[in-house]
Amino acid sequence: MTAVISDSVPWREDLIRISRRLRTRDVQRRWTERTYYLVERDIMFGAYSIRRLIESRKTSTRLPQRRLRVRQWPLTGRVPRPLDRFFVTDFYDKEKQTVAEVDVARLCNQVIHSFFFQLALEDDGTTSLAVTSDRGRVSSVMVISLEQLAELFDYVGREDVLDWNANYSSGAELEERISNHDLVESGRARYADADCDLIELTDGSVPEVVQHHPRVFPAPPWGR
């Protein structure tokens, strides 16, 4: 069994660095085998890092279910075999694409267990990833932009778990981990700096999580 992550900071710092590199690659026009490899490595490592953080309980409990909008190309004929993995448009119809939502946990698994993993240059000059897992290849391929992946990696890289509540009395493992992003997205706080390292309350209340973690809030963040 793989040990859980004890210190999430290096993993998060790498995710932020990967995000910056992907944003540079997103509008790249000249691709070589080397640059393709570097992007594939970054995306694969980024997806694995997020899954490890989730499995190690180093993220908000809401992160795995966070939804991202993607495009889907449906399967048009037979299911592709291993020797077909370089010819994604021969098996999936780009012209019949639909818009769907995928949660973060499933997206990471699709990347980690990818059967198809191909970068595609869009008409607007940006770059997207067409990916599907060995199981997913029987129905469709998922297409997501490098910008979306960069945003996800940056979001997780800047997440800070502020509070962790657990209840095991009923026999089930009921946990809630609250992050800086959770408080901001709930409307109870806002980011106080560009790096999302600090948040401040939007009203005069002082939630319990703030009392436990006053370092997260600029002083004094309430009663202004």
| Residue range 61-103, pLDDT digits in tens | 999 999 999 999 999 989 999 888 888 889 999 999 999 999 9
What pLDDT, on a 0 to 100 scale, did the predictor assign at position 36? Answer: 93
Is residue 123 predicted with pLDDT exceeding 80? Answer: yes
**Of the candidates 150, 159, 165, 219, which has an alpha carbon nearest to the alpha carbon of residue 183?**
159
Q: At what angle do helices 33-55 and 146-157 cross, to 10 degrees?
A: 40
Q: What is the pLDDT of residues 29-39, one digit of tens each?
A: 888 999 999 99
pLDDT-derived band of residue 10, with 50, 70 and 90 as boundaries? very high
Task: Give 149's pLDDT tier (boundaries 50, 70, 90).
Answer: very high
Return the higher-pLDDT residue of 211 and 152.
152
Please report the pLDDT score of residue 215 as a whole number.
Answer: 46
What pLDDT does 217 receive?
46
User: Nearest 5°: CA angle at 64, between 152 and 160?
Assistant: 65
pLDDT, tens only, 131-142: 999 899 999 999
CA distance 105 to 156: 12
Q: What is the pTM of this model?
A: 0.86
Residue 9 has pLDDT above 80, yes or no: yes
Residue scoring higher pLDDT (145 or 31): 145
pLDDT in tens, 198-224: 677 776 555 555 555 544 444 433 333
Query: Which amino acid type is present at position 12?
Result: R
Buried b (16+ CB within 10 A) or exposed e, 168-204: eeeeeeeeebbbbbbbbeeebbebbeeebebbbbeee
- For the chain, list the strands marked E by DSSP: 67-74, 98-103, 114-121, 127-133, 140-145, 161-167, 174-179, 189-191, 199-201
Nearest alpha-carbon partner for 173 in 57, 59, 65, 4? 57
Predicted local distance difference test score (pLDDT) of residue 92: 92
SS3 assignment, position 47:
helix
Q: Could you read off the pLDDT of 154-189 as tens digits, one per residue?
A: 999 999 998 888 777 666 677 889 999 998 888 888
> What residue segments make up the domains of the chain, in order of their start?
9-156, 161-216
| Predicted pLDDT at 146 | 96
Pairwise pLDDT comparison (149 vs 88), residue with the higher score: 149
Report pLDDT for 222.
36
pLDDT of residue 3: 63
